[in-house]
Amino acid sequence: MTDTQTASTITPEAPAPTREAAPGVVHGLYTEGDPIVDTKAPKGPIESRWDKRKFEAALVNPANRRKLTVIIVGTGLAGGAAAATLGEAGYNVKSFCYQDSPRRAHSIAAQGGINAAKNYKEDGDSTFRLFYDTVKGGDYRSRESNVYRLAEVSANIIDQCVAQGVPFAREYGGLLDNRSFGGVQVSRTFYARGQTGQQLLIGAYQALERQVAAGTVEMFSRHEMLEVIVVDGKARGIIARDLVTGEIETHLADAVVLASGGYGNVFFLSTNAMGSNVTATWRAHRKGAHFANPCYTQIHPTCIPVAGEHQSKLTLMSESLRNDGRIWVPKNAADCEKDPREIPEEDRDYYLERIYPSFGNLVPRDIASRQAKNVCDEGRGVGPKVGDFRRGVYLDFTDALKRMSAEAVAEKYGNLLDMYQRITGENPYQVPMRIYPAVHYTMGGLWVDYDLQSSIPGLFVSGEANFSDHGANRLGASALMQGLADGYFVLPNTIRDYLAKGPFPKLEESNEAVVEARASVDARVQKLLSINGDRSVDSFHKELGNIMWEYCGMERSEEGLLKAIDLIRGLRDEFWRNVKVLGSADTLNQSLEKAGRVADFLELGELMCIDALHRRESCGGHFRAESQTEDGEALRHDDEYAYVAAWEWGGQDGTPVLHKEDLVYEFVEMKQRSYK
């Protein structure tokens, strides 16, 4: 990200939101509804809860599975694994992705590794320690039951992937190798150099294609979901657009699974693929699915710094580099223009090692990101100026190259270092790399219960598209763990409890709810094409990203968030008056695709700011300037905010409704995090 994305680049004219004060809410921007409870979460010892739920969930006999159809939107690790597993079980599966192949799902971009509590290093790891590290890393804003289940099934994931042929790194003796990631003091991260996501996705893809060949899975590539069909209060299908022909299609089923990823591209510049969007989950939200903790986004500390205004995305450098690379900036601002190799050791500030001696460079992502911002704000950033600022810190492999050979470094990180050199033109074996935080992942998502079912019966949500496992901050290497856990082991064991109530009444496309859903998609497409304004879709997206990064990024304040809401409302109003969408509806039209996605981002952006505004505490990577300790660390307020904020759609002209799900900790003590 870049600090050239400032308020000075944002058009200030926008209608002010109505702010009549309402009891218990902030500035009257929302209303408060009834509390929400996860009724599916088992009770009793945490070690036995998942087994208990699996046993209590109803079964579907093999003959009845053949009569049931499940739609799965998304073919990343969560969606691909779920489609393969449900197809293998004998259900009829319809799998959708907007890419030309399931192998292009954004899971392929993950680099550094996948966590699992195998304790191969005999360094004190365990299921409970992985559970504890994840709850603590999420700053005590995640559910205990969900996180323990995730830790519990993590070991099974590795066995599954090895059986599929995933080429994990191995030690000399042939055993699987592990490395450390931020926020932990053990080595539990399995990896395939810097290509872990790609290798895991190939494994899931092979399992998926096996079921396509077997006839249990029907694949719809280059299709984008534009609406969920809800009949008699239950999810019964989707409306999708064939992105090649432009045809609007109706697809009906007995249940729908959304595994469509996160919404980090609301910031315009992020490490996400350009096509990553929020449309599938946002359409479901507008139909009644609660959206939980939308302001919880992750800023990744090790990304290649922005180079200028021409960029449309940023590039991730795996957090695994922090195992052997040391992070520093000059102690004196006057040295920032020097060649880093000319700055003597005594004039370098290894600030993470100085501030957090216990964890050093392996502090969690939110802390590493915020401290990088702090030293750059002090004027000690490095690299070329973009605007008036230098936004970069050094990630230096000099010590590692002295301790290991260049060949050994290349064996662990070679493809990452090669990628850095191709992008920047600098050789990281000779000159320290430059990194800076960027938007990477979203912890918020659709609210789900323990069964991964949303507040719409029959609509299940897995992977990054749901909110359930990471709290206010995700530990590195846990995204791949959650995606595969949900797809291979959790969803197949919970969705059967719902499907056992079927087969459900047969639906016809002439059903009133189905016709209404399709008509709403047609009307929206025609509206976007008919505006014929003067501004491109990308210009609106970029301006929204500027607002979000400036006011709802690493640091937030009440004043800034109120301003952001004003600006977003004005920008959204202009979008629907002045956007220019080229082409027609009945053909390949990427301008139309982007317009629909940006329209949803404009609505989501406002909800994110309202969510951030109402949560008057600092937790995880969400730093409220008004809530910090004496030494500038994040300050939580557990007496007021130990809950999940589940937002209900308030209608096109209404205000969102906040439902609170209290977080109760029985097995982990809630306390201020310390990595010092």
What is the Cα–Cα distance from 8 to 309, expressed in whole angstroms? 14
Angle at which helices 49-56 and 491-499 pack, to 10 degrees?
A: 30
pLDDT at 14: 37
**Consecutive H or E run containing 134:** helix 127-137
pLDDT at 23: 41
In this model, does residue 656 exceed pLDDT 60?
yes
pLDDT at 4: 38
611-652: per-residue pLDDT in tens? 999 999 999 889 999 999 888 888 999 999 999 999 999 988
pLDDT at 672: 86
Confidence of residue 586 (pLDDT cuts 50, 70, 90): very high
486-531: per-residue pLDDT in tens? 999 999 999 999 999 988 999 999 999 999 999 999 999 999 999 9
Asked, as a colleague might, if the bond just before 428 is cis with ω within 30 of 0, I would say no
In this model, does residue 229 exceed pLDDT 60?
yes
Counting other chains too, the contacts that 346-349 makes at CB distance below 8 Å and 24 or more residues apart are 349/375, 349/380
In the chain, the percentage of residues whose pLDDT exceeds 70 is 96
User: 176 has which bridge partners?
Assistant: 170
Q: Cβ–Cβ contacts within 10 Å for residue 662, how many? A: 10
Distance set, CA 32 to CA 290, 614, 647, 648, 659 (Å): 13, 11, 9, 10, 6
In this model, does residue 552 exceed pLDDT 90?
yes
Single-letter code of the amino acid located at 379? G
249-307: per-residue pLDDT in tens? 999 999 999 999 999 999 999 999 999 999 999 999 999 999 999 999 999 999 999 98
User: 441 has which bridge partners?
Assistant: 298
603-615: per-residue pLDDT in tens? 999 999 999 999 9
As given in the structure block, the two tokens for residue 395 are 């990630």
In this model, does residue 567 exceed pLDDT 90?
yes
As given in the structure block, the two tokens for residue 609 are 């700011």
Please indicate whether residue 316 or residue 386 has the higher confidence score (pLDDT): 316
Residue among 210, 167, 189, 190 at smallest CA distance from 80: 210
pLDDT at 387: 78
pLDDT at 601: 98
pLDDT at 310: 81
Please indicate whether residue 72 or residue 20 has the higher confidence score (pLDDT): 72
The predicted model gives 537-551 an average pLDDT of: 97
pLDDT at 15: 39
Angle at which helices 590-614 and 558-578 pack, to 10 degrees?
A: 160
The predicted model gives 399-410 an average pLDDT of: 94
pLDDT at 5: 41
In this model, does residue 8 exceed pLDDT 90?
no
Average pLDDT, the chain: 93
pLDDT at 654: 82
Please indicate whether residue 633 or residue 437 has the higher confidence score (pLDDT): 437
In this model, does residue 222 exceed pLDDT 50?
yes
174-203: per-residue pLDDT in tens? 999 999 998 899 999 999 988 999 999 999
Single-letter code of the amino acid located at 152? E
What is the Cα–Cα distance from 32 to 10, expressed in whole angstroms? 31
As given in the structure block, the two tokens for residue 441 are 């992942």
Dihedral sign from CA coordinates of 511, 515, 516, 517: positive
What is the Cα–Cα distance from 512 to 263, expressed in whole angstroms? 31
The answer to whether 277 and 265 are in contact (CB under 8 A) is: yes
CA dihedral 609, 436, 619, 180 (to 10 degrees): 140
pTM: 0.94
Confidence of residue 385 (pLDDT cuts 50, 70, 90): confident
Distance set, CA 256 to CA 80, 82, 448, 454, 556 (Å): 14, 12, 13, 10, 36
244-257: per-residue pLDDT in tens? 999 999 999 999 99
For this structure, is 624 an active site residue? no
Confidence of residue 19 (pLDDT cuts 50, 70, 90): very low
What is the Cα–Cα distance from 675 to 117, expressed in whole angstroms? 21
The answer to whether 664 and 136 are in contact (CB under 8 A) is: no
User: 611 has which bridge partners?
Assistant: none
Catalytic residue among 49, 322, 365, 615: 365
In the chain, the percentage of residues whose pLDDT exceeds 90 is 88
pLDDT at 25: 63
Minimum mean pLDDT among 2-11, 16-25, 141-150, 514-523: which range?
2-11
User: φ, ψ for residue 520 (rounded to 5)?
Assistant: -65, -35
